[in-house]
Structure 1
Amino acid sequence: MKLVVKAPAKINLSLDVLYKRPDGYHEVEMIMTTIDLADRVELTLLDSDKINILSHNRFVPDDQRNLAYQAAQLLKERYQVKKGVTITIEKNIPVAAGLAGGSSDAAATLRGLNKLWKLGLTLDELAVIGSEIGSDVSFCVYGGTAIAKGRGEKIVELPPPPTCWIILAKPFIGVSTAEVYRRLDLTGMMHPNLDEMIQGLENNNYQKVISHVGNVLEDVTLHLHPEVAQIKDQMKRFGADAVLMSGSGPTVFGMVQHDSRMHRIYNGLRGFCDQVFAVRILGERYPLD
């Protein structure tokens, strides 16, 4: 028996860091939304008690380091599942890009194995399990648009953003999230206005949404990787309504409503950057099959 699950990327419309917690993690408040750039996760039921990871992408680990492997292992142990699974991951989301590709693969694995192994868990229960794997996995279990607090595991659903194009550009570099957080200076930081962003989403107000995008990690990554700042400048020059780095980077996204401007930005960046995508926002939470 096989099951195919879509694993969409996410972008951060807003990312704020409040303080460093006693457990070493940072307390965050993030507004995230899913976009129509997705990995394809195929789950094949095995009678033997093992987990296999298959991927043609050399940057995707095929062992316990893979978050999808960890998701399957956690479900097997918690619910005494004796059957196994082969997880085939077709990567479309750039790796180490600030788009939660690995987290989304893990979330897709949780949702798919819940069905394949007939566990009968709710999305809320899967999200709690996901929080043990990684900070973005809980959000990716639900999909849609939400504010995430705590380490990222406390999820409150929000309305989807107004209809628009998202142009993504990722330079051929990787960014260490741990390094970015380590270098983050919380003193005197300008915090994005989450309340205004939430109002923009609730009122379907595109101008308010684009006026209040913000990411406190940007300054750190832009300092470490000047090419990310160059991509931001190019996107603005080509006419994006709002430009922001997603997560800890290095992917930068621009928002536009008009097709003609989307094409101009997309074509302009293609000669400047390794990986460029133009996609729509998904924005709606998944139903549980």
Structure 2
Amino acid sequence: MLFAIVIGVLYYRCPHCGRPLGRIGEGSAYCPHCGKALNAPVEEPVRSITVPAYAKLNLTLDILGKRDDGYHEMQMVMQTVSLHDDVTVTLTDGKGIICRVDGAALPCDERNLAVKAARAFCEAMDYGGGIDIALIKRIPSEAGMAGGSADAAAVLRALRELVSPTLTDERLEQISASVGSDVPFCIRGGTQLAEGRGEKLTVLKPAPRFFVAACKPDFPISTPALFARVDGVTITDRPDTDAMLAAIEHGDADTLCANVRNVFEQALDGEQRERIETIKCDLLAYGAKTSAMTGSGSVVFGLFSDKAACRRACEALQGECIKTFCAEFV
């Protein structure tokens, strides 16, 4: 049970979150960690929470060049969609981080970004309690939909709620930057411009609403190999990021669709590019307003203004070689 050691009016530990405070005086009436009044009645703390981890799409993806540090300078407009994993985080009485995964064959050590995120939070916030993470996976892996990054961001949001509710999005994004390039975006989600490695974010107006048919073909695409191939090809069809930003600002759905682009498509090898192009054409044939690969693939998405048409496309394209997911912008 959490308690405070009190000498007169001096609290050494918050009676609500249990975090050490040091010697503070009468003027410090609130815990700087959880924000609660130190003299407020102590409630039984919430020790478990389940949060959704939303997938993302790249409406645009441009690579501006390779940096001196070995990373690539990116410029991307990204959008969260309703397809999501469920992430349950529970504070335990033990020590260490335990992770369990249902729905996918994924590692449960620090190769899993959810575990890496929990470790980063503990180090940044000086938290030493036990953490149990349970993932129910729906977002496909090796898809370009930031499934691992979304799980990591969900773990960080859950730990903030359980341990330090006053922690700002900006601070959480700082913690998340060491976990993965897409994790800062997934903290807030919505519609954002991502630059640098993906950690420099500008929150945009919500994009016009679309329904999404996401198609995952039966092959993965290696992100490091794709970056290496990009360095050796001439990109001839770049996204007009300014036009995309203007379309979002003015709620112009047609112009948004006209400017969906991903330069990674031009770096695919012959067979992969042919498969991706076939799926794109099939989506357009079923009524998509536009289609493109997201991230480094291999998911291809189509944007629909009509939910029924989106569902029909997903049903028609589902098969042995393609798994489909129907979602919408959130």
- Structure 1 length-normalised TM: 0.93
What is the distance in 1 between the residues matched to 2:139 and 2:318? Answer: 17
2:259 aligned partner: 212
- 2:282 aligned with 1:234: yes
- On the 8 A contact 2:55/2:139 being kept in 1, the answer is yes
Residues 205, 37 of structure 1: CA spacing in aligned structure 2 closer, same or farther, 3 A cutoff?
A: same
The offset of 1:118, in angstroms, is: 2.4
Say which structure, 1 or 2, has more relative contact order (CA 8 Å, 6+ apart).
Answer: 1
- 2:262 aligned with 1:262: no
What is the distance in 2 between the residues matched to 1:78 and 1:56? Answer: 28
Match of 1:108 among 133, 140, 154: 154
Query: Bigger radius of gyration, 1 or 2?
Result: 2
> Deviations 1:77-108 (Å, cap 9, x if unpaired)?
22221101110000010011100000000001
Match of 2:91 among 28, 45, 50: 45
Match of 1:12 among 52, 58, 65: 58
In the TM superposition, structure 1's runs of 4+ consecutive aligned residues that sit over 4 Å from their partners are: none
Higher mean Cα deviation, 210-219 or 70-79? 70-79
The offset of 1:74, in angstroms, is: 1.0
1:24 aligned partner: 70
Identical-pair percentage: 38
The offset of 1:56, in angstroms, is: 2.3
Across the two proteins, how many residue pairs are aligned to each other?
Answer: 282
2:201 aligned partner: 155
Aligned amino acid, residue 97 of structure 2: I
Match of 2:185 among 133, 139, 152: 139
Q: Specify every segment of 5 or more residues in structure 1 that has no aligned partner in the other structure, as ranges.
A: 283-289
- 2:214 aligned with 1:176: no
The offset of 1:222, in angstroms, is: 5.8
- On the 8 A contact 2:213/2:311 being kept in 1, the answer is no
Higher mean Cα deviation, 137-146 or 78-87? 78-87
Residues 234, 188 of structure 1: CA spacing in aligned structure 2 closer, same or farther, 3 A cutoff?
A: closer
What is the distance in 2 between the residues matched to 1:280 and 1:118? Answer: 31
What is the distance in 1 between the residues matched to 2:164 and 2:199? Answer: 25
What is the distance in 1 between the residues matched to 2:62 and 2:302? Answer: 19
What is the distance in 1 between the residues matched to 2:190 and 2:53? Answer: 12
> Deviations 1:213-234 (Å, cap 9, x if unpaired)?
0000012236352322221121
Higher mean Cα deviation, 242-251 or 264-273? 264-273
Match of 1:89 among 131, 135, 159: 135
- Structure 2 length-normalised TM: 0.82
Higher mean Cα deviation, 182-191 or 78-87? 182-191
